[in-house]
Amino acid sequence: MHTLNVALGHRSYPIHIGAGLLGRSDLLLPHIHGRQVLVVSNETVAPLYLDALIGALSGYHVATCILPDGESFKDLQHLDRIFTCLLEQRFNRDCTLIALGGGVVGDMTGFAAAAYQRGVDFIQVPTTLLAQVDSSVGGKTGVNHALGKNMIGVFKQPNVVLIDTDVLTTLPARELKAGLAEVIKYGLIRDLPFLAWLEQNIPGLLAGDASLLAEAIRQSCENKAAVVAADELEKSDLRALLNLGHTFGHAIETGMGYGAWLHGEAVATGMLMAADLSMRLGWLSADDVLRVRTLLVRAGLPVDPPQMAVEEFLQHMSVDKKVKEGRLRLVLLQALGHAVVSEAPPELLCATLSAGSALGVLK
């Protein structure tokens, strides 16, 4: 087992990564302060892993809240179900919420924990690769709005993140690939040696090699923890760098309807769009963009944007959280392994948005 630390002063917390951690009460119980525990999961994950988790909570008053599965249910209406469960059980302020699931369950549970009686404890037990390498660490929580992805939410750090790598054996291949998009992101924004390691090991990762996956998770979480420790609340642009590909990606997710493209798939295409725009700005070479494209394709990820009008892209992108004083700011690459937040000339942005399958090709 590896243990990392997210260094946030008195709110610091451990990330435990290893096989067979789901039933480890010695890792969970030190972070539960009252007797009441609500496990939030969904109808796909609960039948697989709820019993193992509850087995680690004997002696506690454990209730469960099982949500429908899918990004399209990550909204205020379904968030309310968690509050209903808490109130029906008469849970008080020293209760603990545990998120058992992917990023959807984690984002919703964290938001509910932040809001219930003005804030109760919460624990992340992520079960997708994407949630293990990204969404369970760092405290961003929230739900979608019909007019914008992740637009309603708060920062709320968990007490501990328990990453059991065994649960990845039941994850559908498409979801594993979507998680790899966020893994590749760390290499692109700040860790060139990790990018090279991924290029070498992508076949093993896709094949589900447990030790390679554990190593990818460890390196990803190390990168994420370092960024979060330096800029927890995204006050500077540092934490925003984790959003490489997300402004384009969120536009794809919102435009296509939540759930049509997986979040990681939209981020993958979005990262190639960011690389393309970085090339148009003269920062990346065509070879660099090809290197990004090749790795994404080898990871089984989509790289061609959907057919969406430039105006529609721009409309969805205009509600991005990085917009300042009405001006769109994007995460771009000054070099592979070095991301920056920058504005881009509208004509270059439009060229990227209309490039379609010719991303990376200067016309």
Ligand X SMILES: NC(=O)c1ccc[n+]([C@@H]2O[C@H](COP(=O)([O-])OP(=O)(O)OC[C@H]3O[C@@H](n4cnc5c(N)ncnc54)[C@H](O)[C@@H]3O)[C@@H](O)[C@H]2O)c1
Catalytic-residue membership of 321 = no
Q: How far is CA 129 from the centre of its chain?
A: 9
| Number of residues binding to ligand X, judged by CB under 6 A | 29
**Residue with smaller CB distance to ligand X, 39 or 131:** 131
Distances (CA, A) of 286 to 244, 276, 291, 325: 18, 8, 9, 32
The three-state DSSP-derived secondary structure of 208-261 is: CCHHHHHHHHHHHHHHHHHHHHHCCCCCCCCHHHHHCCHHHHHHHHHHHCECCE
* Residue number with the smallest Cβ distance to ligand X: 103
**Range in contact with ligand X (rule: CB under 6 A) among 19-27, 82-90, 133-141, 316-324:** 133-141
Stretch that binds ligand X, among 75-83, 129-137, 154-162, 300-308 (CB under 6 A): 129-137
290 vs 319 by CB, closer to ligand X: 319
Residues 6+ apart with CB under 8 A from 10: none
What is the gyration radius of the CA atoms in the chain, in angstroms? 20
Q: Cβ distance 37 to 61 under 8 Å? A: yes
In whole angstroms, how close is the CB of 104 to ligand X at the nearest point?
A: 4
Task: Using CB under 6 A, pick the residue from 263, 280, 291, 316 that binds ligand X.
Answer: 263
Residues in 44-63 at the binding interface with ligand X, rule: CB under 6 A = 44-45, 48
Check residue 234 for interaction with ligand X (CB under 6 A).
no
Residue 130 as a binder of ligand X (CB under 6 A): the answer is yes
Per CB under 6 A, does 167 bind ligand X? yes
Q: Specify whether the CB–CB gap between 54 and 101 falls below 8 A.
A: no
Is residue 263 annotated as part of the catalytic site, yes or no?
yes
99 lies in the binding site for ligand X (CB under 6 A): no
Copy the structure tokens of residue 5. 């630390």
- Chain position carrying tokens 């409309």: 315
Residue 159 DSSP label: S
Per the annotation, the verdict on 235 as an active-site residue is no
Which of 10, 90, 118, 235 is catalytic? The answer is 118
Q: Do the Cβ atoms of 129 and 176 come closer than 8 Å?
A: yes
The set of catalytic residues is 118, 140, 182, 224, 234, 239, 243, 246, 250, 263
- Name the site residues for ligand X (rule: CB under 6 A): 42, 44-45, 48, 69, 71, 74, 101-105, 107, 127-128, 130-131, 134-135, 138, 140, 150, 167, 170-171, 175, 178, 263-264
